[in-house]
């Protein structure tokens, strides 16, 4: 099973690089990208999971309603993208359920931030996908974490996919910066070994973000916007042609619990 997921959030990444972006633009850029993602998923009739901050969801209700109508899963990305308190775990889940009358069972922390599993369980989640089990200088050092899903208390942990050899991360930055043929080979190797693929993206990658005011480094904007739309469309089409099935995290959970 291919688990496509998207962290749908206010596009505040420019602040990490001392750039500038007004709040309205943070939201509108992510909305543009989300529309493009939903169009591609509809074209190939595949399902995905969307981890949303409450801030983005409250400002994008028609798009969230559309993704739910299209059969996708909504999960929590906490309340804000760049501000976190433990209480936001439970509050974000309850607010998303209240807004959209859907059951929220999954969590992904912004920027894959570490979180106390007991608090995750206490907040009512049945799965958490907040770990990238790789080493990335200045960001992740999770080489001792299992590459594949595991149970921790009553919560299923679903780490982001990395290659079987050398734990090369298959997250969004790899997708942008590796030649597509190389990325496909790594994805194929991972599917062959693990029998599933858990890869994540963001809507703003599918929008125009090459703005000098944002001060984003080249490796974050390479193959973004329309280039990303074409690249992702080609990748999903390739996976479909290979006969792989797609599902939400809830689908995946049901399958492995049989």
> Residues 128-164: pLDDT tens digits?
999 999 999 988 999 999 999 999 999 999 999 999 9
Inform me whether the pLDDT recorded for 41 exceeds 90: yes
User: What is the chain's mean pLDDT, rounded?
Assistant: 97
Inform me whether the pLDDT recorded for 258 exceeds 90: no
Nearest to 229 by CA among 210, 249, 201, 199: 201
- What pLDDT sits at residue 138? 86
Per-residue pLDDT reduced to its tens digit, 75-99:
999 999 999 999 999 999 999 999 9
Mean pLDDT within 243-255: 97
Inform me whether the pLDDT recorded for 257 exceeds 90: no
Per-residue pLDDT reduced to its tens digit, 1-28:
999 999 999 999 999 999 999 999 999 9
Per-residue pLDDT reduced to its tens digit, 152-200:
999 999 999 999 999 999 999 999 999 999 999 999 999 999 999 999 9
Quick one: CA dihedral 39, 3, 234, 31, positive or negative? positive
Inform me whether the pLDDT recorded for 120 exceeds 90: yes
Beta pairing, strands 49-52 & 2-8 = parallel
Contact (CB, 8 A) for 66 and 48: no
Angle, CA of 79, 84 and 85, to the nearest 5°:
100
What does pTM read for this prediction? 0.97
**Buried/exposed 15-33: b ≥16 CB within 10 Å, e otherwise:** eeeeeebeeebbbebbbbb
If DSSP codes are grouped into helix, strand and coil, which group holds residue 106?
A: strand
- Burial of residue 205 (number of CB atoms within 10 Å: 0-12, 13-18, 19+): buried
Inform me whether the pLDDT recorded for 61 exceeds 90: yes
Percent of the chain having pLDDT more than 90? 97
Instruction: Look at the block and give the residue holding tokens 């059951």.
Output: 103
Rounded Cα distance between 179 and 181, Å, is 5
Q: Where are the beta strands (DSSP E) in the chain?
A: 2-8, 49-52, 73-76, 106-107, 127-128, 135-136, 140-141, 150-152, 155-157, 197-201
Angle, CA of 219, 132 and 164, to the nearest 5°:
95
Mean pLDDT within 237-241: 98
- What pLDDT sits at residue 155? 97
- The dihedrals phi and psi of 155, each to the nearest 5 degrees, come to -105, 130
């Amino acid at each position: 099973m291919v688990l496509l997921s998207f962290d749908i959030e206010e596009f505040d990444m420019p602040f990490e690089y001392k750039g500038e972006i007004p709040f309205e633009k943070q939201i509108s850029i992510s909305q543009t990208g989300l529309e493009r993602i939903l169009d591609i998923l509809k074209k190939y009739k595949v399902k995905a999971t969307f981890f949303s901050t409450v801030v983005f969801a409250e400002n994008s209700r028609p798009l969230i309603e559309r993704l739910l109508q299209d059969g996708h899963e909504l999960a929590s990305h906490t309340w804000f993208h760049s501000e976190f308190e433990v209480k936001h775990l439970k509050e974000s889940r309850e607010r998303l359920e209240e807004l959209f009358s859907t059951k929220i069972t999954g969590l992904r922390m912004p920027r894959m931030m570490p979180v106390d599993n007991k608090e995750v369980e206490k907040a009512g989640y049945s799965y958490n996908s907040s770990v990238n089990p790789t080493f990335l200088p200045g960001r992740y050092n999770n080489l001792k974490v299992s590459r594949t899903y595991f149970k921790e208390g009553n919560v299923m942990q679903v780490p982001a996919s990395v290659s079987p050899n050398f734990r090369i991360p298959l997250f969004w930055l790899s997708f942008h910066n590796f030649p597509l043929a190389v990325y496909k080979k790594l994805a194929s190797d991972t599917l062959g070994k693990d029998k599933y693929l858990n890869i994540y993206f963001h809507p703003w990658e599918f929008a125009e973000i090459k703005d000098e005011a944002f001060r984003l480094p080249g490796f974050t904007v390479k193959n973004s916007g329309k280039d990303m739309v074409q690249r992702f469309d080609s990748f999903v089409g390739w996976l479909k042609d290979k006969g792989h099935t797609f599902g939400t995290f809830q689908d995946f959970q049901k399958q492995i619990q049989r």
